[in-house]
Structure 1
Amino acid sequence: MGEGGPGPQGRLARIDAVAARRWAVTARAALAARRSEIDALNVFPVPDGDTGTNLYLTLDTALDAARAEAASSGSDSLADAAAALARTTLLAARGNSGVIFSQMVRGISEVVARVAEEPCGLGPEELTEALRRASELAYASVTRPVEGTILSVGDAAAAAAEVALKSGSELYAVVTAALAAAREALAATTAQLPALERAGVVDAGGAGYVLLLEALERVVSGGADPAPHPLEDLVPARPEWAPPSHAVEPEERAGGPAYEVMYLLADADEEAVAGLRDRLDALGDSVLVVGSHDLWNVHAHVDDAGAAIEAGVEVGRPHRIRVTRLSEAEAGRRQEPASTLAVVACSAGPGLADVFRAAGAEVVASGPGRRASTGQILEAIREAHAMAVLVLPNDADTYLAAEAAARAAADEGVEVHVVRSRAAVQGIAALAVFDAGAGVRDNLLAMTSAAASTRQGAVTVADREALTSAGWCHAGDVLGVVDGDVVAIGDDLGAVAGDVVERLLGSGGELLTVVTGEQAPADLGDSVAAAARIRRRDLEVTVLAGGQPAYPLLLGVE
């Protein structure tokens, strides 16, 4: 195998085409074998965590797509395969961690594609560059990065590789240094985020990245099978409770900026784009700057639209500039034909899908264990056959995939906006005010307002012992949840549901929506509705059979 062959003790001195492919399939096998273990690293004591499944499906689907591209083109080139993998991972990405993970795979693939055809393959220098590139793209995918996540694990691995490289280490030493640092950073995530500390778990996305590096170590070691690091060894026994934290989600400003600015940016390198991203973030929020090479898609909500455009002019050539006022007054002046507007809604159950279809939405199946990928959402956007599309993710963990699909659709000339609906009941409220005869801005403002004004609750059953904000729960306990926080623990679905309804109505409300899940007793929805009407005779109650998994009841109050 020449310079790409085994070194001391059978270890690879460099990663050639065969080794690179082995790394990819070994990583996929590792994620397949341990995805349930990663799924269980859930800050919420309910079996709805699916980060491991999302990471596995992201890589598995991307590898299959890259292989199909190679078969179609007739190319057996590793450079072409790596370039295809860099393209396909984002479309295959599922869940927020899957989107970030896809960018890390893309970063590694970009370096592999560049050096793959060189006779020597990847040595310690190129691998170190690949790990750093993976970390950079991961951080760039999130407007406001949060430490204690897959981001800090990737950064630690890259930094350790750089230190090892400076000391003159050969490939295996660089790999083991990166893996050891990633494991250490993964263990540290528990203390870095209050939500992880409260649940007593490490970050699930970071655990997936550790598996990627473990697969690399196995390949570079020359076929030896080092024992995988047991994730349970990284979990504290009984953490003290701390207030919940929401990682990786973009922040929102009360009231919000006045303008939405979008444009394509050419003739700008990555260093200039990094500065542009920081400049836009200082000007407003909802900043997304994605792309590669010399073409970038720029999106931001700002008060000073001129400054946002000037920032682009300073670093490149903005074109296809679109500035929209985000106020109701201006939105009312912008009317478009009904045929140009459509809605795509993610649904966790067949009953919810029927509700969304009845309202005229294109439906994408998406729920715990089977969250929609970027590509699936993008395909639904295409199938809507509209010039403008509003997307309802209806789940916080599908938001980044929806945003990525929106960016991809923009490159195809379709205007797409993601409504910040983080639960099915918020999506139902948003669709209730959708007006096919109104313009995009009218509907975006109305649907966003409806979703934001809907308080969400749920009733579920704990699958393990855990410390919640309402105290310790045990497997089989009924949990009442309000806006993502456990507020009640009991042993009866109806009683806990009544407690949740009272809390949701505590700050007022006129309409209660009750959505029953696939495991709900037949009369649960009606009994909760009847009890609510007794408490509030003026309350309008709607009961829907949603069929969603994990949550016997979803509750919303408008």
Structure 2
Amino acid sequence: MEINKIDGALLKKAFKGAVNYLISKKEEVNALNVFPVPDGDTGTNMSLTIKSALKQIESLEGSFSVSEVSQAAARGALMGARGNSGVILSQLLRGLAEGLDGLETAGTQEIAIAFKKASETTYKAVMKPIEGTILTVGRETAEYAIRHYKKNDDLVKFLEDVLVEAKKSLDETPNKLQVLKEAGVVDAGGMGLVVLLEGALKVLKGEEISNQEDDEVLKKKAQKEIQFTEADESLEFGYCTEFIINTDYDDIDALREKISPLGDCLLVVGGGGTKIIKIHVHTNDPGKVLQYGCELGLLQDIKIDNMRYQHRETLFDESEVENARESEKEEAIEEKEFSFITVSMGEGMTETFKSLGVDYVVKGGQTMNPSTEDFLKGIDKVGGKVVYLIPNNSNIILSAEQARDISDREIIVIPSKSVPQGIAAILAFNEEASIEENENNMKEALSSVIDAQVTYAVRDTTINGKEIHKDDIIGIASKDIVESGTDITEVTINTVENLMNDDISIVTLFYGEDVTDEDAENLQEKLEEKYDDIDIEVIKGNQPIYYYIMSLE
């Protein structure tokens, strides 16, 4: 059947199909990561980001236009953006929404213009655009759409041609980016974009795409679906109350202060121009909390669970609620001149950062990049007039910057790409220095430390002329595999040796959850014997994925 125009209802259906199709292909996208490490995250980040967009779309009620659907998608993706690919995807949806702004329906011309606007927005979002990535695939796809929309009024036929061009562009990414060519893969982000287009097109052609639940959703359900056979009357507050407010209201502090007397484990997330506020609270009077929400705007996703009997799936992760509970044990947030927020993925690392004066630690890292919303929640929990965000991962920097742009606080992002860099940046901070001096000093400190990681390869590949085999232990430094082998301790020692120079006086190693205390102590003894004039410090980091994360200073 020929489709000349797409309305809001059909766009919503196509969007849902695109999301489910991406989730079904998530691991295929993850497998395209250039480095063969077990933290493939492009597919995961894009699927979580786009699911956040879909959640906002599904909250729309009654009849709605393509403009309203695209605006909802942009809002959801903005808050849920994870990793570089997720942030770029959120900006793509933002541009798409701008291109469809004010339209009830859209035909081939309007879709082509929206594609072009989406591409332009993604390029503006990246400081140094790199060709051979999702940016290129989006741009070349949009350019084709602009050149050809007049040739066909049939939207399905038009999008079939556009998809063919998108796949051609994807296939060409290794010829534009040498690292892809050497690894024998196409760009993962570009693949994710093609999958989304393909999923949407399948729906428009009448195909059914079943609902998908990715591993993260299933994991959360397994954690949360806990049944209590008897009522627990010991709980002070019995009703877990959650909902979202669609509102222009922006005074998060005032709203939190208003709700706070009604319960505990309070989370108030949003504002900053996002048009939505998420509420979580344990209370004995959910009706009163809902009333406060109704005074500010329209409510959606309302969930009220009697915790004395049961605990079911919620809007907030279990870890978020636990963080809220822990925060209530602490003193009220007091205003101060500055605060630090950093990202950590292991208990030992978290304790190290806290010992250095970090005010709030966002849980995350390689296996689960925190979202823009996670950073905003952290900003909301610290009292610094100036807040320094220290992401400690190159794939998290854009999310931190997006949180900075949304927040109405003074936020400075220090683009640390590893835990050792983050530690060096904090140590470079001087309370007596100006904001500008501290920002410069902290950024300069990032280059003062040499860092590396030891993990294992998930597939065969060749990088910079080195042949790597599946399950090899590999040492990674400066986006290069500097060592490989079959023994963790041996590879770690050789990695240190590869990075050692005459200026090094301290070597610090954080050992992960898969390394025993005995093995870590054995490694320390061997390094101390090899480098008797250098301080060797081994700390239990408990991080996943990486056996060791090390710094040489």
Displacement of 1:429 in angstroms is 2.3
Q: Among 387, 390, 400, which residue is 1:389 paired with?
A: 387
Q: Among 156, 161, 167, which residue is 2:145 paired with?
A: 161
Q: Among 17, 30, 47, which residue is 1:39 paired with?
A: 30
Deviates more, 1:537-546 or 1:180-189: 537-546
Matched, 1:540 2:535: yes
Report the Cα distance in structure 2 between the residues aligned to 1:346 and 1:483, rounded to whole angstroms: 20
Q: Number of aligned pairs?
A: 431
Displacement of 1:79 in angstroms is 3.7
Report the Cα distance in structure 2 between the residues aligned to 1:45 and 1:214, rounded to whole angstroms: 26
Q: Among 508, 512, 522, which residue is 2:507 paired with?
A: 512
Matched, 1:137 2:121: yes
The aligned residue for residue 488 of structure 1 is: 483
Deviations 1:435-470 (A, max 9, x none): 456543343233323322110111111111111336
**TM norm structure 2:** 0.73
Paired amino acid for 1:364:
V
Q: Residues 546 and 377 (structure 1 numbering): CA distance in 2 closer, same or farther, change over 3 Å?
A: same
Paired amino acid for 2:372:
T
Paired amino acid for 2:46:
L
Displacement of 1:348 in angstroms is 2.0
Deviations 1:184-204 (A, max 9, x none): 100111221111111111101
Displacement of 1:472 in angstroms is 1.1
Contact 1:175/1:217 (CA < 8 Å) preserved in 2?
yes
Contact 1:338/1:436 (CA < 8 Å) preserved in 2?
no
RMSD: 2.4
Specify every segment of 5 or more residues in structure 1 that has no aligned partner in the other structure, as ranges.
Answer: 1-9, 226-290, 293-336
1:176-325 mapped onto 2 (5 Å cutoff): 176-223=160-207
Q: Among 444, 449, 453, which residue is 1:449 paired with?
A: 444
Report the Cα distance in structure 2 between the residues aligned to 1:510 and 1:378, rounded to whole angstroms: 38
Q: Residues 476 and 542 (structure 1 numbering): CA distance in 2 closer, same or farther, change over 3 Å?
A: same
Q: Among 24, 48, 63, which residue is 2:39 paired with?
A: 48
Paired amino acid for 1:552:
Y
The aligned residue for residue 425 of structure 1 is: 420
Matched, 1:14 2:9: no
Displacement of 1:99 in angstroms is 0.9
User: Counterpart of 2:508 in 1: which secondary structure?
Assistant: strand
Q: Residues 499 and 448 (structure 1 numbering): CA distance in 2 closer, same or farther, change over 3 Å?
A: same
Deviations 1:518-547 (A, max 9, x none): 112333332332222223323222222112
Report the Cα distance in structure 1 between the residues aligned to 2:383 and 2:515, rounded to whole angstroms: 37
User: Counterpart of 1:523 in 2: which secondary structure?
Assistant: helix
Contact 2:509/2:549 (CA < 8 Å) preserved in 1?
yes
The aligned residue for residue 551 of structure 2 is: 556
Q: Among 357, 360, 363, which residue is 2:357 paired with?
A: 360
Paired amino acid for 1:473:
I
Displacement of 1:76 in angstroms is 5.6
Matched, 1:107 2:91: no
Q: Among 404, 407, 413, which residue is 1:406 paired with?
A: 404
The aligned residue for residue 274 of structure 1 is: none
Q: Residues 391 and 507 (structure 1 numbering): CA distance in 2 closer, same or farther, change over 3 Å?
A: farther
Q: Among 76, 81, 99, which residue is 1:88 paired with?
A: 76
User: Counterpart of 1:98 in 2: which secondary structure?
Assistant: helix
Report the Cα distance in structure 1 between the residues aligned to 2:134 and 2:197, rounded to whole angstroms: 13
Report the Cα distance in structure 1 between the residues aligned to 2:519 and 2:179, rounded to whole angstroms: 31
Matched, 1:26 2:17: yes
Report the Cα distance in structure 2 between the residues aligned to 1:67 and 1:357, rounded to whole angstroms: 40
**What percentage of residue pairs aligned between the two structures are identical?**
33
User: Counterpart of 2:474 in 1: which secondary structure?
Assistant: strand
Contact 1:39/1:204 (CA < 8 Å) preserved in 2?
yes
Report the Cα distance in structure 1 between the residues aligned to 2:182 and 2:484, rounded to whole angstroms: 17
Q: Residues 13 and 65 (structure 1 numbering): CA distance in 2 closer, same or farther, change over 3 Å?
A: closer
Q: Residues 140 and 215 (structure 1 numbering): CA distance in 2 closer, same or farther, change over 3 Å?
A: same
User: Counterpart of 2:484 in 1: which secondary structure?
Assistant: strand
Paired amino acid for 2:81:
A
Deviations 1:119-165 (A, max 9, x none): xx111111111111111111111122211000111112112212221
Paired amino acid for 2:186:
V
Matched, 1:172 2:169: no
User: Counterpart of 2:32 in 1: which secondary structure?
Assistant: coil
Paired amino acid for 2:71:
A
User: Counterpart of 1:396 in 2: which secondary structure?
Assistant: coil
Contact 1:43/1:201 (CA < 8 Å) preserved in 2?
yes
Displacement of 1:113 in angstroms is 4.0
Report the Cα distance in structure 2 between the residues aligned to 1:43 and 1:420, rounded to whole angstroms: 22
User: Counterpart of 1:387 in 2: which secondary structure?
Assistant: strand
